[in-house]
Chain A
Amino acid sequence: MTINWQAFTPEMSFLGGMLIGIAALILMLTKGRVLGVSGILSGLISPASAFEFTWRLAFVAGTILAPILFYVLTGTMIEFTAVAQSWQLYGAALLVGIGTAYGSGCTSGHGICGISRLSVRSIIAVMTFMTTAVATVFIIRHLI
């Protein structure tokens, strides 16, 4: 195993993680809801009521606007280097959608919120998607 020290950003990533944790905590303490993006998006495409639709839309709007605020606050452009194109990209999109619906959560809901409250389901989910994600990257980068 080799560490890519040039890319390593432990302090910034830890700070980012804490902000994500604070966001999730505020949503739980105010609205009593888990901050899970796949669940929030599911609630947007099949809304239970106008109110359930509106708060999710507000959350999504805030998330979309966040990179602009990040730029205003830090003066740094966010890097975005795509790793997939065409069929690989859209195949991935379909798998992410179906998988998070079937598995009832993604990196935010299971990964941050679920593990935080020691949910066994979430811990198993995270171990499962981490394993298949690492295996997928291994196959693409080192086998093919």
Chain B
Amino acid sequence: MISILVALVVGCLFGIGLAFGGMLDPSKVVGFLDIFGAWDPSLAFVMIGGIGVNALGHFFLVKGKKPIFAKKFQLPENINIDRNLLVGSALFGIGWGLAGLCPGPVVASILLNPMSLLPFLGVMLVGLKIGSVLKSK
């Protein structure tokens, strides 16, 4: 039960972080990706802040211990640079550039703009399903 509550709080913190960071505004996201136009480098600072905190925590707290509410840390085990990783990431980037939306902000902005984001989320979930079925073949 407490672990469900933790997930809820983590989701809130994550979404508030996205909001502060400027990630919930697709025009700001595209402004960051538009390095050949009037470039807004703000979102690089989201990455610096996020990676800074998380990397410090990871290297000091995660190594060799157990998580509080689970038996072990579940880190990705695949270390191969394979075709799936490259093709998938390339397609994701095209979609991200087309609409300025990646999965976290889509979820976090649902209440801000449900008319366009609920259908977006629906299509994205269909895409996730298609992608995982294709990948497992």
Residues of chain A whose beta carbon lies under 8 Å from any beta carbon of chain B: 1-4, 7-35, 37-38, 41-42, 45-46, 54-56, 58-70, 73, 78-85, 88-104, 106-108, 110-121, 124-126, 128-138, 140-142
Chain A positions within 8 Å of B107 at CB level: 37, 41, 60, 63-64
Partner of B17, one of A20, A84, A106, A129: A20
Partner of B94, one of A2, A81, A99, A107: A99
Q: Is the Cβ of A62 less than 8 Å from the Cβ of B9? A: yes
Q: Is the Cβ of B70 less than 8 Å from the Cβ of A137? A: no
Instruction: Please give the distance in Å from A90's CB to the nearest CB on chain B.
Output: 5
Q: Summarize A's interface: helix, strand, loop or mixed.
A: helix
Residues of chain B whose beta carbon lies under 8 Å from any beta carbon of chain A: 3-28, 30-31, 33-55, 57-58, 61-62, 66-76, 78-81, 84-104, 106-113, 116, 119-132, 134-135
Quick one: closest A residue to B20, CB to CB?
A: A16
Known: A7-B31, A16-B46. A97 touches B23 (CB 8 A): no
Partner of B93, one of A10, A62, A120, A128: A128
Quick one: closest B residue to A42, CB to CB?
A: B128
Partner of A21, one of B4, B49, B134: B49
Q: Is the Cβ of A97 less than 8 Å from the Cβ of B96? A: no
Chain B positions within 8 Å of A65 at CB level: 11-12, 15, 111
Instruction: Please give the distance in Å from A130's CB to the nearest CB on chain B.
Output: 7
Known: A37-B107, A58-B11. A133 touches B42 (CB 8 A): no
Q: Given the complex of chains A and B, what is the CA–CA distance between A128 and B33 in angstroms?
A: 13
Partner of A97, one of B31, B57, B111, B124: B124
